[in-house]
Amino acid sequence: MSTISTSDFRKGVKIEIDGKPYLMEACEFTKPGKGQAVYKTKLRNLLDNTLIERTYRSGDTVEAADVHVGKGSFLYKDKNNFIFMDSQNYEQYAMAAEQVGQGGEFLLEGTECELLYWNNNLIGVTAPSHMVLEVTYTEQAARGNTATNVTKPATLETGGAVNVPAFINTGDKIKVDTRTGEYIERVRG
């Protein structure tokens, strides 16, 4: 396996610690008056999404994680899992809803996604940042309620739920931010 020197540390580098892949989210170089320079890093575990901090001395090396991103598509959801297909080799992978995260509730069948692999195993999925979805159910707005920022819950065609402005009706198409689960705008046409 290849190694990465501290001189190559930067945001976005993927390393392996104790047999688990980590993404470097921050790296700060510090040169004290005396002694060796140090690199203070913030690392996100790509398996369980936890954040740790580690300090390395100048000249240290760490193992590079065998992590790569590929293209794929969401096929369907069964009882407990989301099923994805790799666009290159057409292999299918199942991921638990907890692993897919909040973006999973806004995925339509056939949606193109980025698939994250570690040692040739699927460990993460990145949904498109925005999805246009149809509202399948929402309450009618109260007549005369024209106050700004009045929202109501709406159910989408994927089964996901989002708060929408009072003027949105069943059958409208809306744009949703899959990262935050927030309504962005109504889509015409």
Domain boundaries, the chain: 3-64, 67-126, 130-187
Residues 130-187, CATH architecture:
Beta Barrel (2.40)
8 A C-beta contact, residue 181 and residue 187: no
Domain 3-64 - what CATH class?
mainly beta
DSSP characters over 60-81: -EEEEP-EEEEEEEEEEE-SSE
pLDDT the model gives residue 118: 93
pLDDT the model gives residue 100: 87
> Alpha-carbon distance 170 to 77, whole Å?
24
pLDDT the model gives residue 144: 60
pLDDT the model gives residue 81: 94
CATH number, span 67-126 = 2.40.50.140
pLDDT the model gives residue 33: 84
pLDDT the model gives residue 146: 58
How would you class 64 by CB atoms within 10 Å of its CB: exposed for 0-12, middle for 13-18, buried for 19 or more?
Answer: middle
pTM: 0.80
- Please list the ranges in the chain whose pLDDT falls under 70: 1, 142-148
pLDDT the model gives residue 149: 76
The answer to whether 3-64 and 67-126 have equal CATH topology is no
**CA 2 to each of CA 5, 14, 62, 64: distance values in angstroms, whole numbers, following the listed order:** 10, 12, 9, 6
